[in-house]
Amino acid sequence: NLQLNRDDLYVSACYVDQGPSIKRIMPRAQGRADIIKKRSSHITVRVGEK
């Protein structure tokens, strides 16, 4: 993007953070319900130039 040479790039940092979780309801027996958390994550990759 910035006229960088692809061969000179390297991964300087890479980490995963917790993202928002979506709450869902799962019907159970006898009128009960359980909450299910569908988790997501944020992946960050930083690239440096040699």
Domain that holds residue 15: 6-49
CA 14 → CA 3, 8, 9, 48, 49, distances in Å?
23, 17, 14, 11, 15
Q: Is residue 16 part of a domain?
A: yes
Q: Is residue 1 part of a domain?
A: no
Kindly report, residue by residue over 2-36, the tens digit of the pLDDT.
788 889 999 999 999 999 999 999 999 999 999 99
Q: Is residue 17 part of a domain?
A: yes
CATH number at residue 13: 3.90.470.10
pLDDT at res. 38? 96
Name the helix (H) or strand (E) containing 25: strand 22-27
The DSSP annotation for 1-13 comes to --S--GGGEEEEE
- Tell me what the pLDDT averaged over the chain comes to: 94
pLDDT at res. 4? 85
- What's the pTM value of the predicted model, to 2 decimals? 0.61
pLDDT at res. 1? 62
Domain count, the chain: 1
